[in-house]
Amino acid sequence: MYILAIDGGGTKTSAVICDATGRIYAKVMTTRSNPTAMNAQFFEMTLHELMQQLRQQNEQIFEKICSCFVGMAGVKELHAEPIVEKIIRQYVQPTALMAIENDGLAALYAGTFGQPGIVQIAGTGAITIGYDENKVLHRIGGWGYLFDDKGSGYYIGMKALEAVFQSYDGRMQNTSLTQPILQHFHVESVEQLIACIYNDEHPRTNIAPLSKYVMHAVESGDAVATGIMDEACVDFYKAIKVCFHKMAWSKQVIQVVLAGGVFGNIDYFKENLQQLASNEPIKFEFKKANLEPIGGAVIGAFKQKGIQLDEAFGEVFNSYWKVL
């Protein structure tokens, strides 16, 4: 049995053809596929090229695809599911099952192996998604960098820049963030940062990568950076808690998957979030995903066929993913 899995976002898109053992028969990685961040023509062209590349890699297996799971950012918001399904249906057998979901569900499945739970995503942007026992999806946050992107790479990077400028002015205590950020932009003074930030690129592109320096500074004991990350943990926990209270849930433990580049130091976030949740009547089990989000999309595709995958699948899938 062979399935098609696609994980698409605002930065990149991954797609695989896979079997239930975790073996990958075709793999494509390409540009972004978030329809809210690109025009309709380019979005559709990206999907067509992706499907054509998969078919070219292994046409014999491609013809046997029986289930498709697409986790894609922006599709639900624009109600673009019919467009995505129409394109994919041009390539796969008419009997193939089809699911088109928010990419957050794939990220959740990558940590829970298809079970309900909560995923806190924090990459360039941030969003909290819960999938409950009634198979209902709940979304908290993720309204964009202008309004509500707390805990995202962009938000943390912005806070780092605020600290650098205010420290330079004398409005805040000194911080070790200044030097690595100057080096990042290849400048020698704080005044030169302005031209680097207010350039032709989108501010998220420039600012989100700075979040990694905040984590490095925390690990070195910088008080300003620690304050920024402590605030981010509080923001994450507020969103997770609100999401949970919207969910239908009967168990005593709920898995919370932490996904995205901000969570590089997973132990730091697990410890801080666990402390914030210590007085809750229900146990929050914070964890990092065992798989890349594309692996969660594979799990979703097999879930449609009534097949539950486990960690043995994950080990095989990860080995193929790394070498292909």
Query: At how many degrees (to 10) do helices 103-112 and 293-304 cross?
Result: 90
Q: What percent of the chain has pLDDT over 90?
A: 82
Contact 35, 78 (CB under 8 A): yes
Per the prediction, the chain carries an average pLDDT of 93
CA dihedral 314→319→320→324, nearest 10 degrees, is 140
Contact 184, 209 (CB under 8 A): yes
**Residue 84 to residue 187: CA distance in whole angstroms:** 44
pLDDT digits (tens, 9 = 90+) for 167-182: 999 999 999 999 999 9
Contact 26, 61 (CB under 8 A): yes
More confident call, 143 vs 65? 65
121: left (phi over 0), alpha (psi -120 to 50) or beta: beta
Q: What is the mean predicted confidence (pLDDT) over 181-197? A: 93
Give the residue extent of every domain in the chain: 2-113+290-323, 115-289
Sheet containing strand 97-101, edge to edge, reads 24-30, 13-18, 2-8, 65-72, 97-101
- Per-residue model confidence (pLDDT) at position 276: 97
**pLDDT over 80 at 16, yes or no:** yes
Q: What is the mean predicted confidence (pLDDT) over 251-270? A: 95
Reading the block at residue 277, the tokens are: 């949740």
Provide long-range contacts, Cβ within 8 A and 24+ apart, for 189-193.
190/164, 190/165, 193/161, 193/164, 193/165
Q: Specify whether domain 2-113+290-323 bears CATH 3.30.420.40.
A: yes
**Residue 289 to residue 107: CA distance in whole angstroms:** 8
pLDDT digits (tens, 9 = 90+) for 267-282: 999 999 999 999 999 9
Phi and psi of 6, rounded to 5°? -130, 135
For the chain, state the CA radius of gyration.
21
Sign of the Cα torsion 127, 272, 213, 13 reads negative
pLDDT band at residue 200, thresholds of 50, 70 and 90? low
- Per-residue model confidence (pLDDT) at position 250: 95
**pLDDT over 80 at 19, yes or no:** yes
- Per-residue model confidence (pLDDT) at position 97: 97
**Residue 71 to residue 73: CA distance in whole angstroms:** 7
pLDDT digits (tens, 9 = 90+) for 90-134: 999 999 999 999 889 999 999 999 999 999 999 888 999 999 999
**pLDDT over 80 at 144, yes or no:** no
Sign of the Cα torsion 174, 176, 181, 183 reads positive
**pLDDT over 90 at 262, yes or no:** yes
Q: What is the mean predicted confidence (pLDDT) over 34-41? A: 84
Contact 122, 313 (CB under 8 A): no
Q: What is the CATH number of domain 115-289?
A: 3.30.420.40
More confident call, 206 vs 267? 267
Q: What percent of the chain has pLDDT over 70?
A: 99
CA distances, 210 to each of 48, 124, 149 (Å): 34, 10, 15
Reading the block at residue 57, the tokens are: 């890699």
**pLDDT over 80 at 10, yes or no:** no
**Residue 117 to residue 112: CA distance in whole angstroms:** 7
Contact 65, 93 (CB under 8 A): yes
Contact 261, 209 (CB under 8 A): no
CA distances, 65 to each of 55, 72, 98, 310 (Å): 11, 19, 11, 21
Reading the block at residue 79, the tokens are: 């109600």
- Per-residue model confidence (pLDDT) at position 52: 97
pLDDT band at residue 60, thresholds of 50, 70 and 90? very high
- Per-residue model confidence (pLDDT) at position 146: 82
Do the domains spanning 2-113+290-323 and 115-289 agree at the CATH topology level?
yes
